Amino acid sequence: DTAVSQTPKYLVTQMGNDKSIKCEQNLGHDTMYWYKQDSKKFLKIMFSYNNKELIINETVPNRFSPKSPDKAHLNLHINSLELGDSAVYFCASSQDVNPGYEQYFGPGTRLTVT
């Protein structure tokens, strides 16, 4: 059983399109995250939800909209895709917001915008 899963693993699309990435965790964790990893491997937090409530919302274009239907799922919808959105997007979860808990990462979704 995969602890944190993401779909799709690869996503190739054209500029201007709208796409979604889905994430699910079966660890019973309260907190979930979206990260963007650029081509230089730099990892940047985008959003975090705790029990379906948004608690971190970094400086991210409003074309990106997260949705958490329940605490086991956190999806990311991206409108009007741009070339600069090409990256690997990671979902992660942790037991709760306590900063001492480690994060469990999904396998990543490689988004390529052409």
Partner 1 sequence: AQSVTQLDSQVPVFEEAPVELRCNYSSSVSVYLFWYVQYPNQGLQLLLKYLSGSTLVKGINGFEAEFNKSQTSFHLRKPSVHISDTAEYFCAVSGNTGGFKTIFGAGTRLFVKA
Binding site for partner 1 (CB under 8 A): 4, 31, 40-43, 45, 48, 50, 55-56, 90, 92, 97, 99-100, 102-108
Nearest approach, Cβ of residue 16 and partner 1 (Å): 28
Q: Which 8-state DSSP code applies to residue 96?
A: S
Instruction: Report yes or no: 111 and 57 within 8 Å, Cβ to Cβ.
Output: no
Measured CA to CA, the distance from residue 68 to residue 111 in angstroms comes to 21
Least distance to partner 1, CB of residue 33, Å: 8
Q: Which residue's CB is nearer to partner 1, number 14 or number 39?
A: 39
Residue 80 Cβ vs partner 1, minimum distance, rounded to whole Å: 27
Contact present, 91 and 106 (Cβ < 8 Å): yes
Enter the tokens of residue 93: 């979860």
Nearest to partner 1 of 10, 82 (CB atom): 10
Quick one: 13 or 57, whose CB is closer to partner 1?
57
Show the DSSP H helices in 24-111 as ranges.
Answer: none
Q: What is the DSSP letter of 58?
A: -
To the nearest whole angstrom, how small is the minimum distance from the Cβ of residue 90 to partner 1?
A: 6
Which residue, 12 or 15, has its beta carbon nearer to partner 1?
12
Q: How far is CA 51 from the centre of its chain?
A: 16
